[in-house]
A and B are shown apart, each in its own frame.
Chain A
Amino acid sequence: MAKKPVTFTLNGSDRAAFAEEGLNLLEFLRRGIGDLSPKYGCGQGACGACTVIIDGETHLACLTMADAVHGRKVETASGLANGKVHPLQEAFMEYFAAQCGYCTPGMLMSAKVLLDRNPSPTRADVIEAISGNLCRCTGYEPIIDAILATANMRARA
């Protein structure tokens, strides 16, 4: 299969790798680049486990072609902590928002984009922002609470 060079920024670092034609971004990040934080949940864009941020917007890596990130900025959960954990990560721990942890990286990506755009979301805003991310463990409440708490903490700061 033909391979294409893809150069992009991953969590602030320049990266370059060859991607087979037709390879999706999830496989490319996991097997080609070695960033294992985005997870495979359904491969059909219906569960959000592979959610990543491309140029500030959430994308489902399983439905994105690898070469579509050429020249763009990609963020994943593995790059969220910058020296110390991100306030969202802190809140996820404080509120017990992770159980098995599998949906967590995608959930954090959806939450980050929400708060970057809307620093003071309502509960309904949060629910809408994560309604594309399935969690089978928590019943969602602690995740919603963690995201709202992050917004409140930032508002007070």
Chain B
Amino acid sequence: MTTPATGVGAPIRRKEDHRFITGKGNYTDDINRPGQTYAVFVRSPHAHAKIRKIDAAAARAMPGVVGILTGADLAADKVGGLICGWMIHNKDGSPMSAGAHPALADGKVRYVGDHVAVVIAESLAEARDAAEKVAVDYEVLPAVVDLASATAKGVGTIHDVAPNNVVFDWHLGDKAATEAAFKKARHITRITLANNRLVPNAMEPRAALGDYDAGEDSFTLYTTSQNPHVARLILSAFIGIAPEHKLRVIAPDVGGGFGSKIYVYAEETVCVWAAKRVGRPVKWVADRTEEFLAVAHGRDHLTHAEMAVDEEGKILAIRVKTRANLGAYLSTFASAVPTYLYAPLLSGQYDIPAIYAEVETVYTNTAPVDAYRGAGRPEATFVVERLVEVAAREMGQDPAKFRLKNFVKKWPHQTPVIMMYDAGDYAGSMRQAQKLADVAGFGKRKRDSARNGKLRGLGYSAYIEACGIAPSSAVGSLGAGVGLWESAEVRVNPTGNVEVLTGSHSHGQGHETTFAQLVAGRLGIPIEQVSIVHGDTDKVQFGMGTYGSRSGAVGMSAIVKALDKVEAKARKVAALCMEAAEGDIDFKDGKFTVKGTDKSMAFGEVALQAYIAHKFTGQQLEPGLKEGAFFDPTNFTFPAGVHICEVEIDPETGVTKIEKWTAVDDFGTVINPMIVEGQVHGGIAQGVGQALHEGTVYDKNGQLLTASFMDYGMPRADDLPSYSLGFNGTAAPSNPLGIKGCGEAGAIAAPPAVINAITDALGHEEIAMPATPQAVWLAVQKMAKSIAAE
């Protein structure tokens, strides 16, 4: 029984909002330490160059300079390089080619923005001025920028371990079965598409503040991280800053992450290390251009895909060949994204007997690429939903009916690419979405648009994703370097209020509210008596952090397990206090009652008795009421849904206006519908950004041309539609709450919905993302030509 007003399912206000609306959010750059210095990084202006010499003499003489450190200093202190935590093997079984990734350059730079040296000074202005005086003598090498030609002969080698710039050449699925299916096909649809490179651009730029306590010989790092414990583990075990128990990592309020703050970066590594070197706290805050240059980017695939269909319109097989850009170095989870987070999703929501995917990943002289909201799953969904749409159109079938015919209809369903879908209702979501979107009235709306000289189109996207990446033993067998469980501790205080320590991290998701809803509802106490503690390795023992829409399914499930133990112990306390058998104790609405009597104790009274321990002996029961738990799910979760985008294009200007956005999603159990809606809205906004506005452009020399908000198309308030949302939840069987996860769905679903709508309006398939007004205008001209030719 929950407290209905605040428990699971209640749309209560967010507990964290009061501090945000009053300007009291406590972000990394809001924290200052006594004696603090400021770090500015000397970054490479070249995409690819050897460093002949670094001359810092003039810079050292500048006012306010406290220290200037280079890769040689890191090496002298035996500080290791940054790591990639997921091992992928080539088709032949050999391991991927992982080039060294020093935090400060070791004789070579590999992208514009690469870290050469750090200047630490009394003030930010002094650090900036001195950084300009660091003279670096570069021998410029040819840059490898273009993804398509990155492995061509003679383009140059970025890492000696990968002479042809290939990181790995990997595959998944049954090649022979897929080829056999293609031989039987009545129709084959072939598409070639690019998944455009994106810059995550959380509104809070990355920042770090390193502090060293000489008395305790211990370090503290305040950093913009989605997973402070993972950061500590990597900084300790691999990079060697300090033993784990001598390194505290605090991720306070974090202003958005979207994946980009999962990774351990050069800057935070250098700040925490340098704090001991200079004997003062060292702060660094990325300016926005640094963020564009050196944050991990997302996506960047080139794909050729084919779909085999039989005479009845049943999909027989999918064959995919993808080249993925991993940038200049392997970021923390880079190798997992175009492999295990991508190819296993190529079955979409469909019953497809055979799938074969080949993925070749390459180094280029561009910023590292890693997971960004959706991570691999938006790329897979774009491939599948474009294939399905184009196949239906080529075969003259209604795209919705084509999808309905091919949807998985029975669960569990084993796909040919690892995944076992355990619960869903794909056809139900499609029908609900069609109704909400008034698809029946689309023809009239299209005619009305045509009368006004406008082009109207409707696009579907039936996406599926895999969240709560688990169980640990399974991801371990696929190459993960860590387990992907979550931990929680429920501390009941003697006065009956509760602190919940979680390894999940909230950077906008509202965990302080949803997690508290779960606990308050379960224990029958007011939500004000519950506080959620996260983001500090000295408070929370361990955690895997927040990414991959895992915090509900995995993090909250760990809390449920800890609550189970708290309740079991509290029952014992109540039984002893009320002199009853434990089996006779009922717990309901925050009250322990002896069955069949009027004897009862409130939760708070039981908590007090657990601590004062006057009513039982140490032999009978251990005092206290505090329990911890780890939760490792039995399967991934599979959120899925149908999004329908309706656009109107002005053929004169090429401007695409989204007229209607409908989404029906299956997230399993929903804890707070308002927070879930917010996640869906934000995800769609980023997906629409990818489809219409955002594109990362390097010139042929590897200079980033889109390195500011003036050059990179961030969606603004006038770029986005209103949304019509519906839920069609089926409980996930792999966790006790039935949660599937909602954080990435919008970003996964949206791009193909937009492009399918635009191509529907255009009547041809030739448009790439981002479909800017210029691109659409050019596509409209092609349309006119094809009409003229008919």
Q: Please give the residue numbers on chain A whose beta carbons come within 8 Å of chain B beta carbons, in ascending order.
A: 1, 20, 22, 27, 30, 35-44, 46-47, 49, 76-78, 80-81, 85, 89, 92-94, 96, 98-105, 108, 126-128, 130-144
A39 B716 Cβ-Cβ under 8 A = no
B285 contacts partner chain A, Cβ-Cβ < 8 Å: yes
Within 8 A of A (CB), among B16-45: 16-25, 27, 29-30
Residue of A30, A130, A133, A137 with most partner-chain B CB within 10 A: A137
Residue of B14, B16, B678, B685 with most partner-chain A CB within 10 A: B678
A62 to chain B, nearest CB (A): 10
Q: Which chain B residue shows the least CB distance to A23?
A: B125
A50 to chain B, nearest CB (A): 11
A93 B17 Cβ-Cβ under 8 A = yes
Given contacts A40-B285, A134-B203, 5 further A-B contacts (CB under 8 A): A93-B17, A96-B674, A141-B720, A142-B681, A144-B717
Bound Cα distance A119, B690 (Å): 35
**Known contacts A102-B204, A102-B255; is A93 also within 8 Å of B21 by CB?**
yes
- B residues within 8 A CB of A46? 288, 708-710
- B residues within 8 A CB of A77? 21-23
Q: Which chain A residue shows the least CB distance to B506?
A: A100
- B residues within 8 A CB of A142? 678, 681
Within 8 A of A (CB), among B196-224: 201-205
Instruction: List the 8 closest pairs (A to B, CB-CB), nearest first.
Output: A37-B23, A101-B20, A102-B255, A100-B508, A139-B685, A139-B681, A46-B709, A99-B508
**Known contacts A42-B708, A100-B508; is A136 also within 8 Å of B718 by CB?**
no
A139 B709 Cβ-Cβ under 8 A = no
Residue of A43, A44, A101, A141 with most partner-chain B CB within 10 A: A101
Bound Cα distance A41, B203 (Å): 6
Other-chain contact of A127, B27, B684, B718 (Cβ < 8 Å): B718
A96 B288 Cβ-Cβ under 8 A = no
Write 12 A-B pairs (CB below 8 A) sorted by A numbering.
Answer: A40-B285, A80-B21, A80-B22, A85-B21, A89-B22, A96-B677, A100-B256, A136-B203, A136-B258, A137-B203, A137-B508, A139-B715
A92 B21 Cβ-Cβ under 8 A = yes
Q: Which chain B residue shows the least CB distance to A77?
A: B23
Bound Cα distance A4, B25 (Å): 30
A8 to chain B, nearest CB (A): 18
B203 A89 Cβ-Cβ under 8 A = no
Bound Cα distance A76, B285 (Å): 22
Bound Cα distance A17, B254 (Å): 30
Bound Cα distance A100, B258 (Å): 11
**Known contacts A42-B288, A128-B718, A141-B720; is A20 also within 8 Å of B508 by CB?**
no
B632 contacts partner chain A, Cβ-Cβ < 8 Å: no
B678 A127 Cβ-Cβ under 8 A = no
A99 B678 Cβ-Cβ under 8 A = yes
A138 B685 Cβ-Cβ under 8 A = yes
- A residues within 8 A CB of B677? 96
Bound Cα distance A99, B21 (Å): 11
Bound Cα distance A94, B746 (Å): 23
**Known contacts A99-B509, A128-B718; is A141 also within 8 Å of B681 by CB?**
yes
Per-residue 0/1 for B271-296: is the Cβ within 8 Å of any A Cβ (1 yes, 0 no)? Answer: 00000000000000101100000000
Q: Which chain A residue shows the least CB distance to B712?
A: A46
Number of interface residues of B (CB under 8 A): 55
A15 to chain B, nearest CB (A): 16
A96 B716 Cβ-Cβ under 8 A = no
Per-residue 0/1 for B679-694: is the Cβ within 8 Å of any A Cβ (1 yes, 0 no)? Answer: 0011011100000000
- B residues within 8 A CB of A35? 23
- B residues within 8 A CB of A136? 201-203, 256, 258, 682, 685-686, 714
B288 A41 Cβ-Cβ under 8 A = yes
A39 B508 Cβ-Cβ under 8 A = no
A61 to chain B, nearest CB (A): 13
Bound Cα distance A120, B708 (Å): 34
A2 to chain B, nearest CB (A): 13
B199 to chain A, nearest CB (A): 11
**Known contacts A101-B255, A103-B203, A140-B685; is A39 also within 8 Å of B27 by CB?**
yes
Other-chain contact of A141, B27, B201, B722 (Cβ < 8 Å): B722
- A residues within 8 A CB of B682? 99, 136-139
Bound Cα distance A103, B202 (Å): 10
- B residues within 8 A CB of A22? 125
Within 8 A of A (CB), among B645-675: 674-675
Bound Cα distance A17, B682 (Å): 40
- B residues within 8 A CB of A100? 202-204, 253-256, 507-508
Q: Which chain B residue shows the least CB distance to A34?
A: B32
Bound Cα distance A93, B15 (Å): 9
Q: Which chain B residue shows the least CB distance to A106?
A: B203
Q: Which chain A residue shows the least CB distance to B711?
A: A46
Bound Cα distance A132, B684 (Å): 20
- B residues within 8 A CB of A96? 13-14, 17, 674-675, 677-678
Q: Which chain B residue shows the least CB distance to A38?
A: B23
Within 8 A of A (CB), among B493-509: 507-509
A139 B723 Cβ-Cβ under 8 A = yes
Bound Cα distance A111, B274 (Å): 42
